[in-house]
Amino acid sequence: MNLINTLTLSGILFAIGVYGLVTRRNAVGVLMATELLLNSVNLNLVAFNHYLHPAGLGGQMFTLFTITVAAAEATVALALVVALFRARRSVMVEDINQLKW
Amino acid sequence: MNSLTYLVPLLPLATFLVNLLFFRKNRHLAPYIAVGGVLAAFIVSLSLAARLLDNTAPLVDEIRWLDVSGGVLGNFTIKVGTLLDPLCAMMLLVVTGVSTLVHIYSLGYMHDEPGVARFFMYLNLFTFSMLGLVVSPNLYQMYIFWELVGLCSYLLIGFYYEKKSANDACKKAFVVNRVGDFGMFLGILFLTYYLSTADFLALPGKIGNWPIAGPAWLPLGVVALLLFCGAVGKSAQFPLHIWLPDAMEGPTPVSALIHAATMVAAGVYLVARTYVVFDAALFSSVNASQVVAWVGGFTSIFAATIACTQYDIKRVLAYSTLSQLGYMVMALGAGGSGVGAGSFHLFTHAFFKALLFLGAGSVIHAMHTNDIREMGGLWKKLPITGTTFFIACLAIAGVPPLAGFFSKDEILMALSEGHMVKLYWLASGVAFMTAFYMFRLFLMTFTGSEPAHGHPHESPISMTFPLMVLAVLSVVAGWSSLPSEKNFGHYIHYERPAGLAQQWEGAKSLAAAHPEAQGTVKAHELLAAAPLTPAKEEAVKEESHQFQWHAEIWIPATLTGLAGILLALLMYYFKVFSPARVVSALGPVYTLVYNKYYVDEAYAWIVHRVYFVLSRGIAWFDRHVVDGFMNGLAFVSQVSGSVLKRVQNGQVQAYALVFALGLTALLVFVKNVLF
């Protein structure tokens, strides 16, 4: 295990997240992809902290914040999805295309 | 403030404003307030004129209005204020005097009109504008009032706004005047550019010191002609005369005040004021004075012939006005004593022409028609109108010792002194025709058989009183030119600036020294070729400006006038030979003259066939090329927008993809290209 391997893993995770974000048709799936993105970033932070600055805890503290914010974000986003479903009877993102022109 | 001149225009303005603010609908009070305003102005003018009798030095009051710094003129200030000199005082007296009489006359004439308060407001506003024009110390202020006068003329011609002909006439007057005014404004701008002043009092000095003769004089000739354009428009000279006969659509007092006595004199006044420019133009290859003289001469004979054929009482007078204005302009162009003579004719003409128009108004008031063929024998029914009209006819025909006799003599004198032989004969012919058509009008209206219908009766005292006053003035106004220590010419004349006179003398002596070059080398070229000798100054200084008397001028002139009267008597009173036979003998010539030489038709043809066709072409260009270009631009943006907007499909994921790809591309770019 070294920094490069960890970063590669994080990069692969991020790419999967982006792919999911762009291709999932279900809003819940899009949210899950977003979680993947956040977690890849968390991995990045922790890895940099561990390998480059072992004495400090900055990266790990930052990760904790990210997890907290991600939880809040998931709550709000899921609430939005529920509200959306109630309003439009659908959670498919291709149906949500009013924001144009 | 050196003088009370500013009061003269401001008094009618004050009564105008009072009426405008408080008595706009008050048909009983507004007229009397208006009369009070002009009467007060007349009294002030009298006191001002009395002050100038002994000391003719001009009085100027000015305040700075606009400072123009930088540009081609350097520091140039446009001022407003008043200038009082004899010429101005004469005009003030004429304008306020005739205006007061016309106001009083209108009390009777317009009594039953619905818009009488409006009428008097317009009259006040007009009087203010005209007086403002007269007291202007510079061309810029004059131009402002010049346009105001035009506006008032427009309002008053169109007073009966429900009549289509009145509407057409007022528009015509305004548009035709604009043509001349455009030239005049160009002239003012050029004059300011070349002389860096527009003050009347500064002009002689500047022009007298104009550096050196030669091509440098050319601009002055052009300036003079451009200024004359304004005079041609306002004083209705050919070819811009067409508005004046149509202006008779206005109420008759307006015709008397504006289109006979005062406003139309503005053009003559302008030329007299700026005469030094015309005089200096002698040195340029543009001989402005000659142009002025010939335009005036042509107009006077042109209009006189038309006046002989018309049957509308006001139109005859309108063409007579044109003819007399042409006379004045011709006198101005004659140079030398012509300025005094033209101004003098302006002075006398104002009285008898106002009288003629007011008398015509009185006749129309009694007869309810304008056609002199339906009139006759009115002298018995309208004794005061008839008698005063008769006096005015004698005056305009140049019968001694009435006013017109004196002023016409002065003009003929000026023409003969100026060696304008052709114009002298032309002017004599016009004098003959003037006497003929005025007596034709008088005899057809006031003598002969009475009309079958109607019961004409004399007008009220408010209308006959001005007639009587004007009749007295028509008799005595000319006496101011009788030989004496200080006659009219002593006060009003043109004095050639010393510098100019010197150059002129130099040119003359050079021309005398080169007789072989006469007619081929122009004066300015001679002047440019040799330096001047400043020796002749005292020779030109002490020249008498008094009007003089020469039997060889006034006796033929009087006989000409009497011959015209005699011819009219033979044709229309004794009926020795009938007018109808003259008409048939003249044939197509008569038709041509009767239809006013088809000038209106020619203009209509030009407008319809040339101007409108050109306009249509330009409109097509505007609509299809200029607008087409703009529409094309709009079309391109619209189409490209409707294509580009497809990118915005509302799918957030698509945006995210573009965002991610864009970010990636940017990172690759930063990594590989920049570092």
Q: Which residues of B touch A18 (CB under 8 A)?
A: 656, 660
How far is residue B370's CA from residue B408's CA, in Å, rounded to a whole number?
A: 29
How far is residue B234's CA from residue B420's CA, in Å, rounded to a whole number?
A: 25
Q: Where are the beta strands (DSSP E) in B508-580?
A: none
CA atoms within 13 A on the CB side of B291: 21
- 8 Å CB contact of B652 and A93: yes
Q: Which residues of A touch B649 (CB under 8 A)?
A: 97, 100
CA atoms within 13 A on the CB side of A80: 13
Q: Are B575 and B442 in contact (CB under 8 A)?
A: no
How far is residue B305's CA from residue A99's CA, in Å, rounded to a whole number?
A: 84
Identify the closest residue of chain A to B645 by CA–CA distance: A101
Q: Is A27 part of the contact surface with chain B (CB cutoff 8 Å)?
A: no
Q: Are B119 and B251 in contact (CB under 8 A)?
A: yes
CB atoms within 10 A of CB B207: 24
Q: Which residues of B touch A30 (CB under 8 A)?
A: 653
Q: Which residues of A touch B648 (CB under 8 A)?
A: 100-101
Which whole-number Å values give the CA distances from B291 to B55, B297, B320, in the listed order? 35, 10, 22
Which whole-number Å values give the CA distances from A46 to A2, A43, A55, A61, A65, in the listed order? 12, 5, 13, 9, 12
- 8 Å CB contact of A22 and B660: yes
What is the three-state SS of B496-515? CCHHHHHHHHHHHHHHHHCH
Can the peptide bond before residue B239 be classed as cis, meaning omega within 30 degrees of 0? yes
What percent of the residues of chain A are helix, what percent strand, and what percent coil, each to the nearest 5? 80, 0, 20
List all residues of chain B from 613 to 652 with a beta carbon under 8 Å from chain A. 645, 648-652
Instruction: Check residue B610 and report its DSSP letter.
Output: I
Three-class secondary structure of residue B76 per DSSP: strand
Mean pLDDT per 10-residue interval, chain B, length 675 residues = 82 92 86 92 90 82 82 78 89 92 90 87 92 92 93 91 89 90 91 84 79 61 88 89 87 87 88 86 73 90 89 89 90 83 90 91 84 81 88 88 86 82 88 90 83 73 88 86 75 78 71 56 48 38 55 81 86 80 81 83 86 92 93 94 85 88 92 83
Identify the closest residue of chain B to A94 by CA–CA distance: B651
In the numeric block, which tokens belong to residue B452?
Answer: 């079958």
Range of the domain at A17: 3-99
How far is residue B436's CA from residue B396's CA, in Å, rounded to a whole number?
A: 11
Number of domains in chain A: 1
Nearest to B184 by CA among B149, B217, B224: B224
Rg (CA), chain A: 17
Contacts of A74 (CB under 8 A, 6+ apart): A31, A35
Q: Which residues of B touch A99 (CB under 8 A)?
A: 650, 652
Q: Convert the pLDDT of each residue in A13-55 to its tens digit.
A: 999 999 999 999 899 999 999 999 999 999 999 999 999 988 8
List all residues of chain B from 10 to 39 with a beta carbon under 8 Å from chain A. none
Which uninterrupted H or E stretch holds B82? strand B76-84
Q: Is A47 part of the contact surface with chain B (CB cutoff 8 Å)?
A: no
How does DSSP assign B443-509, residue by residue? Answer: HHHHSSSPPSS----PPPHHHHHHHHHHHHHHHHGGGGGSSSTT-HHHHS-----HHHHHHHHHHHH
pLDDT value at residue B534: 38
Q: Is B449 part of the contact surface with chain A (CB cutoff 8 Å)?
A: no
Instruction: Check residue B263 and report its DSSP letter.
Output: T
Q: Are B149 and B133 in contact (CB under 8 A)?
A: yes
User: How far off is chain A from B634, nearest CA to CA, in Å?
Assistant: 19
How far is residue A22's CA from residue B386's CA, in Å, rounded to a whole number?
A: 107
In the numeric block, which tokens belong to residue B238?
Answer: 């050919």
In the numeric block, which tokens belong to residue B502?
Answer: 């010197």
Q: Are B293 and B333 in contact (CB under 8 A)?
A: yes
pLDDT value at residue A86: 92
Q: Residue A17: which CATH number? A: 1.10.287.3510
Which of A21, A98, A100 lies closest to B653 in CB terms?
A21
CA atoms within 13 A on the CB side of B114: 4
- 8 Å CB contact of A96 and B650: yes
User: How far off is chain A from B658, nearest CA to CA, in Å?
Assistant: 10
What percent of the residues of chain B are helix, what percent strand, and what percent coil, each to the nearest 5? 75, 5, 25
How far is residue B235's CA from residue B244's CA, in Å, rounded to a whole number?
A: 9
Q: Is A21 part of the contact surface with chain B (CB cutoff 8 Å)?
A: yes
Q: Tell me which residue has tokens 């009788």.
A: B482
Q: Are A42 and A63 in contact (CB under 8 A)?
A: yes
